[in-house]
């Protein structure tokens, strides 16, 4: 029997209604690895972001599905380099950390292979309704 392996990454994004209004959007983002055996394992569940507009504009007029999806992929990493670290080192560290999270859950994953997986974004029902997507 072949051990399960990651087949794609999925970031689930949902509206934080308590911190969102017409001028401010706040969302949570949870990164999961979908496996070849059909399971999904959480990699990161402590991410999210907020954005706002000045004046009387409604932030929903400035949002697009694509912009939210791009922001979601950004906030789950890799992070920007720190100190003398290069972009390549920061990315390698990120993917190695995610591979480590999978290993602690019993799944072997090569960091380079993880970096090459498709990365889909699923917008939550409340976010889609609020944004009009």
Cα 66 from chain centre: 14
List pLDDT tens digits, range 13-26: 999 999 999 999 99
Domain span including residue 107:
6-131
pTM of the model: 0.94
Number of domains in the chain: 1
Query: Rounded distance, CA 52 to CA 88, Å?
Result: 31
Q: What are phi and psi of 35, to 5 degrees?
A: -105, 160
Domain-located, residue 1: no
Q: Does a structural domain hold residue 36? A: yes
**β-strand pairing of 24-35 with 40-52:** antiparallel
11-64 per-position pLDDT tens digit: 999 999 999 999 999 999 999 999 999 999 999 999 999 999 999 999 999 999
22, 59 Cβ separation under 8 angstroms: yes
Give the pLDDT score at 2.
87
């Amino acid at each position: 029997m072949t051990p399960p392996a990651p087949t794609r990454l999925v970031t689930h994004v949902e509206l934080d209604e308590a911190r969102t209004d017409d001028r401010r959007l706040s969302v949570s983002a949870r990164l999961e690895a979908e496996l070849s055996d059909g399971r999904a394992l959480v990699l990161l569940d402590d991410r999210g972001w907020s954005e706002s507009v000045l004046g009387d504009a409604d932030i929903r007029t400035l949002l697009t599905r694509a912009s939210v999806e791009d922001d979601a992929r950004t906030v789950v990493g890799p992070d920007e380099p720190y100190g003398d670290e290069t972009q390549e080192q920061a990315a390698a560290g990120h993917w190695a950390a995610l591979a480590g999270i999978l290993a602690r859950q019993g799944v072997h994953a090569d960091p380079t292979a993880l970096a090459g997986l498709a990365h889909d974004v699923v917008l939550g029902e409340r976010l889609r309704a609020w944004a009009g997507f």
